[in-house]
Amino acid sequence: MAKKKRQGHYCRICGEYKANEKFSGKGHAQHICKACMSKKKKGVEIDPDIPVVDEYYDDELFGDMGYDMFNPDIDIIPRIEPEHKKYKKLCKEEKAALKVLWGDIVTEYWQEVRQIPFGESFNILRKRLIGIFTEQGELDITDDHDLKVVLNDCMVSTINKLLRSEKDRK
């Protein structure tokens, strides 16, 4: 009889098979779901044998090398590339976080320059957003047409809200 193949990934902490969306970029490789990862970061006692993920990727400890060449007991720690996704493939929480961050960037730009970002300034802000999201969310968003359309719509609504709030203050 053939072995039944399960979909998703196995979390080695909670011992469950979960959907791919329940794992972050680092979680896929380490087989730790987002829920267990957040418990570890909050300090909830899970299993003392499993190290906290941030210790593996702390650049102050390992620098750019990814390992300590002076200590042969430490194995090479693989660098995990951020997961590449199109805007359409993001989950609801990731889309919401992206829109909130974009609203903050547009608000900051509007308060500094007092202009609507268009052309090159829009491209610079979009690349800044993708860079921040990649660093903080361990997710590399593909810079495609769908993303541009969503960011443009979000930018217009953000600036309209800013203008309405200025009008109400007067």
Q: What is the pLDDT of residues 119-157, one digit of tens each?
A: 999 999 999 998 887 877 678 898 999 999 999 999 999
The answer to whether 25 and 19 have CB atoms below 8 angstroms apart is no
pTM to 2 decimals?
A: 0.53
Return d(Cα 147, Cα 155) in angstroms, integer. 12
Return d(Cα 9, Cα 16) in angstroms, integer. 8
Statement: residue 59 has pLDDT above 50: no
* Strand partners of residue 78: none
Statement: residue 107 has pLDDT above 90: yes
The answer to whether 128 and 105 have CB atoms below 8 angstroms apart is yes
Closest CA to 23 of 105, 72, 94: 94
**pLDDT of 71-105, one tens digit each?**
555 555 555 667 788 989 988 988 998 899 999 99
